[in-house]
Amino acid sequence: MREQDLRESHFVPIILEESFEQCFSFRRDSFVCSFGSDPSLWPHSLDATIYRKWLKQKISKDPASALHLWFHDQIIGQLELGRMKEDPSIGYLHFCYLIPSFRGTGVSKKLIEWAEAFFLERGHGEARLSVSPQNLRAYSFYKKVGWKDQGPRPNRPEVLFMGKSLG
């Protein structure tokens, strides 16, 4: 993908009524990438009703916290951003997704840069995310763009916290 092509992509707040099925499909694919195709291996169930309710609430509080990345007329990525429950001063990247055909093209960097700018604009000097150590592609990407492995997440030891100082 050329730099020119990246400029043709843009972020738009998620319109849940129009794109929930795609949001849910992205979420399901992320679980497969992280934990394999057997849902019993996933750390908790992926319930469409609960996810829709959570996403709707997130969007109603801050439409910029749930975004789709568009390239021409296609949704190619999704971000869900907020803050840590345990420490609201820390930004939290709930979900960062890019469709398979755009992985490895440089577009992932655009997603993470947008997330970091979102956190800085809201006064977060630090951000965290969770990643499955089995998802080597994602783990390696986050390390490459400056996120540091902070070890197993206390309440979900099957995933790792990664963090980054911002600003």
126 vs 124: CA distance, rounded Å: 5
How much is the pLDDT for 4? 44
Domain boundaries, the chain: 3-165
How much is the pLDDT for 9? 87
Query: What would the pLDDT profile of 26-66 be if each residue is shown by its tens digit?
Result: 999 998 888 776 666 655 667 889 999 999 999 999 999 99
Fold of 3-165: Aminopeptidase (3.40.630)
Picking from 151, 82, 87, the residue whose alpha carbon sits closest to that of residue 119 is: 82
Structure tokens at 136: 């080597």
Query: What would the pLDDT profile of 120-143 be if each residue is shown by its tens digit?
Result: 999 999 999 999 998 999 999 999
Q: Has residue 2 got a pLDDT over 50? A: no
The CA-CA-CA angle for residues 91, 95, 96, to 5°, reads: 105
Amino acid in position 46:
L
Segment 6-16 shows an average pLDDT of 88
How much is the pLDDT for 107? 92
127 vs 147: CA distance, rounded Å: 9
How much is the pLDDT for 6? 63
Which residues, 6+ apart, have CB-to-CB distance to 139 below 8 Å? 131, 132, 133, 149, 160, 162
